[in-house]
Structure 1
Amino acid sequence: MNPRILDVALGDRSYSIRIGSALLRDAEGLRACAPGRHVLLVTDANVATHHLAPVRAAFAGHAVELVVLPPGEQEKTLARFGDLMAALARLGASRDATVVALGGGVVGDLAGFAAACWMRGVRFVQLPTTLLAMVDSSVGGKTAVDLPEGKNLVGAFHQPAAVVADTDVLATLPDRELRAGLAEVLKYGAIGDPAFFAWLETQAPALLARDPAVLGEAIARSCAHKADVVARDETERGERALLNFGHTFGHAIETVQGYGGLLHGEAVAVGMRLAADLSHRLGRASADDAQRLAELVEAFGLPTRIPPGLDPDALLARMRLDKKNLSGRLRLVLWRALGRADLVDGVDEAAVRALLAEG
C-alpha cells in the first residue's frame, strides 16, 4: 500500500510527512533523505533493539556515527547535547551532513537541536517510533533540551528535511506509550476540530486495540492539523501556541517530578483536564465540555489528576517559566467550548493555584 504523503508548506523549507507501512525498510527512500556523505544516527537503547538494523543498513554507503542513548526524558539534557556535538566532531561532519533521529520525542528533540547548532544548522530527518512523536513532536521543527528549572527551555526552531512515520513500529510500542501518544491526538480535536474529537470518542476501543486502519487515520488527521498550523505560524507568534493546550500544566508536573514520573503524554492529559476545568471556573466554558474531555481521557486509560504529593506552589512557580508568558503575566491556552481554544493573557494565579491544590 502506498504511503500517505502530507506537506508542510514553508516555502523553500517545505518538507513531506510520509505515513505508512514498512517505510523503515525502504532503503532507497531513506538514503534519499541524506544526500551528503556524513550521517549522525541517533537512537535510544529500546528502539535500537527493534528498529535500528534496517536503518543502519540503509546508510551503509555513508560515513556514519551512531549514538545510542539510554531511554527516558531525563536524557534530554545539555550534557547529552554535548555528546552529540562531540559525535559530529568525530565524524568530521560537513555542512551537507544529515542528523537522523530514530526514536520518540526525546531523541527527536535532542537530535534536532544538535542539527540546529552544528555549523549553524545542518539537515535533519525525523524517523519517529512512538505515536506521540508521529503526531506531534516530529512535525514542526521545535527542538530543545530540558533544564532542572523547566522543560524545553533551551532550544531552537529547526525544521526537518523529511518525516518518515512507519506505522509498523507501533506494534512494539508498550501500551503505556501508546496511550500517552493518544493524549496528543485528542488535543487536536479539543482545540480545533470537534468532529475529530467525536470520531475519537467512537474509535477509542479500536485505537487501544491498535487497529491499523484506525491508527493510520488518527495519525494522518493529527499530522494534517499540525502541518496546517505550522505553515501559518512557524515560530509560534500566535495560532501555533494553541497546540500547547494542557502543556503548561503538564510541563510543570514533569519538571517538579524531575522528569521521572508521568510520561509527557500522561502529564499533558492531566494538563488538558486542568485547563478545561479552569476554563469553566473562569466562566469561559461549560462544565459539560470539561466532563466530556475528562471522559475521553479516561477512556484512553490516561490519568486526569495531579500525582499526589506535588506542591501546588512549586507547580505554579514552574508554570511562571513557561515560554508563552510575557512580562511576568501567566498565559494559558484555555477554551470557550470543545474545539474553540484561545491563548489567554493575565490568567488569575489565585484561581490556578486553587485548582492545583485540588489536584
Structure 2
Amino acid sequence: MMIHEKAKFFKALGDQTRLAIIGCLLKHDYCACDFAAITGKDQTTVSRHLKILCEAGILKYEKEGRYVIYSIMDDNMKDKLENCGIEKFDSCCPDNAADAKKEVVKEKYGKIALDVVQGCGCCGDLTKEEISTSIGYSSEDTQSFSAANMGLGCGNPTAIGEIKEGDIVLDLGSGGGFDSFIAARKVGKNGKVIGVDMTEDMIAKARKNAEKYEFDNVEFRQGDIESLPVETGSIDIIISNCVINLAPDKSKVFREAYRVLKNDGRMYVSDMVLLNDLTLEQRNDKDLICACIGGALLKDDYLGMIKDAGFQIRIMDQDKEIGENQYSGYPVMSLKLKAFKADAGLD
C-alpha cells in the first residue's frame, strides 16, 4: 500500500460513525438505507461517510434494483480491519435494534408513570417543580396540573407555540398530559388536543388526569410517533417536548409530522441535541438513552432531518447551559424551534 493510500485508509478510520458502519459490515452486507437507523445520522451524512470509505478502498457496493448494497472490499481488507482492532457488531439490524431501544424506553417511562422511579435520570436531586420552572413553565402551570407534571422535558413548547382558540393540537409523546392540558386551555371548547404516547401506563395516567381536571377536549391515543394514529392533514399545531430524541428513526417522525399537519400548520419542538458526538458505547447505554442523551443527534444532523421531511425551520432558542446544569456535563443542549411546510409560504 502506497503512503498516500495508507494515509487515506487511516484517516477513514478516524471517525466513530465510519467505525460503526465498518463494524456492521464485518458481520454482513447492508443496504445504504439501513445505515441512517444504525448510526442515528441523516441519509446525507451517511452517504458522505460511505463515499469516504469507498474512496479509501475499504468498501465496495453493488446496485440491486433500486437498492445499493455495501460490503467490505475483500477478505484481505476484512483481515486488515480486524487486525486494526475493529470489532464486528452483532446488534446492527435496524429493526431489531430499534425495537430493543423502544422497549427500553417503554419500560423506563412506564415505571415513571407508575411512580416507581422519579424522572428520566437526567436531573439529579431536583424536584419536579424545580425542573419544570428551570425549563420555562410558570408556577401556575405546575400548580394547575401537578398530577400530570412528572418533571420531564427540556423546554416548554406550549410557551413558544402560537396556539389559539379553536386549534387542533397534536402532542407527540404526551406522557402524563402536562403539555396537553396547558394546550387544551388555550384551544378552548372549539378546539381539541390529541396526545400520542407509546407507553400504555402513560396513556392510562393521562386519561385519568384528564378526568381529574375535567377536560373533554383532550384525547389520548396509544401509538408510535414514527407511525402516527392521526388523519392526514388534520392538525393545526404539533408540540413535542424532549421526546423525538427517544425515537430510533427520527426521520420517520418528521415525515409523519409533515403528513398530519395542515398546509398552514406549524410544529413547535423542544428537544436535546448534541454539541459533540458520543461514542458508540454511550449511544447504546440504556440509561443515557432514557435520559435523552444516548439517542440525541448532532444539531446539524437533527435540523437536516427536519428539512429533508419538507420543513423550513426557525430556531427560537438554544440552551447550551443545560448540559452542565441538568445533564452531568454531557455535550448536549436544548434546542427550541418552529417548523412549517416549506411550500406554505409562512414565516
- Higher helix proportion, which one? 1
TM-score scaled by structure 2? 0.29
Q: What TM-score do the two structures reach when normalised by structure 1?
A: 0.28
Which is greater in Rg? 2
